[in-house]
Structure 1
Amino acid sequence: MDPLYTNRLIIRGFRETDADDLFAYLHRPGASCFLSMKLDDLQAARAEAIKRVNAEDIFAIEHRQSGRLIGEVFGHFELPDSFSIAWQINTEFCRQGLAFEAARAVIDHLFEVRGVRRIYAYVESDNLPSQRLCSRLGMRQEGVFREFISFETDEAGIPIYVDSLQFAILKKEWIGLPH
């Protein structure tokens, strides 16, 4: 993929040299839904960075000013023309509008270059920043899935289920939004 440029970011493919920065945000994921991606050490981060080098649906977010990898937008394509999207940002870079800037660039790319018709996201009911981001991106809430998934267990090992909200936007809706 050719890099995408925004005012403050470069959206690009992963590089093997991203391991340190990848570890910085995945050793303690900011949202419970990313606990399965947790990296325990730098060796695991190196292996993960190498694995991501050829991944088509994982977009690395590079902070232009610092040159650091600060997060990712990722998901998967579903036939015939939908894309499930998610994002995560190093907590050091949160609350600066960078996730919005990155997600907007990737959504533009998915609609205009990849031919996607519909993009959707699952967001846990307690993840208010991602819910706000979905709304800011023009996505509408389509539904609530009660006790949809479990990312953690309680002290007795019993799964703790959380509600998930589904947000989505169609290409024809995206085109009508100011960018």
Structure 2
Amino acid sequence: MQKIETDRLILRNFSVTDAQGLLEYSAHPRVNCFLDDKMSTLEEAALRVQERSNDDSYIAVCLKDSNALIGELYYVKEEQDTYAVCWNFNARFEGKGYASESVKAFFKYLFIQKGARRLYAYVEDDNYRSQKLCERAGMRKEGYFLEFISFTKYEDGTPKYENTFQYALLKKEWIKQQHSK
């Protein structure tokens, strides 16, 4: 992927120097959907970074002044013009607008460079920060799924199902939002 710069951030492919940053926010996932990505050693993080460095669907979000990894964005192309989107950020950098800044640039990249017609995201009903991020990025709440998916289990071994919102944004909605700014 071609590097994208915003006022304070660089969005780029992962590089070997990102292992420590990835480990920092992946060692203790804050939402259940990232439990499968949990890692506990720098070696695991280095392997994951190496895999992601060759995959344009994983985008490293870095501070422009230090190149420090603060999070990631990624997409899954589902149909010719529909993309599922997701993000994961280091809690140390919350409240500064970095997630919003990067997601807006990410959406522009997907709509303009990748030819997306529709973007959507699934967000657990207790993940308020991600819900607000979807809304700040111009997405609308499109659905609510009860006991939609299980990422973890209760102490007795039974699956814990997550209630999940679906947010979406069409390219024509995004264009209209850009013109109204």
Give the TM-score range, shorter chain.
over 0.9
The 5-angstrom pairing of residues 11-26 of structure 1 reads 11-26=11-26
The 5-angstrom pairing of residues 24-39 of structure 1 reads 24-39=24-39
| Letter paired with 2:142 | E
- Matches of 2:79 and 2:67, distance apart in 1: 35
> What TM-score results when the alignment is normalised by the length of structure 1?
0.97
The 5-angstrom pairing of residues 27-176 of structure 1 reads 27-176=27-176
Unmatched runs of 5 consecutive residues or more in structure 1 = none
2:18–2:49 Cα contact (<8 Å) kept: yes
1:29–1:35 Cα contact (<8 Å) kept: yes
- Using the aligned pairs only, state the percent identity: 42
- Matches of 2:79 and 2:153, distance apart in 1: 33
- Matches of 2:67 and 2:79, distance apart in 1: 35
Deviations 1:85-109, CA, capped at 9 Å, x for gaps: 0111101001111111111001000
2:120–2:169 Cα contact (<8 Å) kept: yes
- Matches of 1:106 and 1:29, distance apart in 2: 22
- Matches of 2:132 and 2:17, distance apart in 1: 32
| Letter paired with 1:5 | E
1:30–1:88 Cα contact (<8 Å) kept: no
| Letter paired with 1:76 | V
- Matches of 2:100 and 2:19, distance apart in 1: 24
SS of aligned partner of 2:104: helix
- Matches of 2:52 and 2:138, distance apart in 1: 29
Q: Quote how far apart the aligned CAs of 1:30 are.
A: 2.2
| Letter paired with 2:165 | L
SS of aligned partner of 2:177: coil
Unmatched runs of 5 consecutive residues or more in structure 2 = none
Q: Point out the more displaced range, 104-113 or 16-25.
A: 16-25
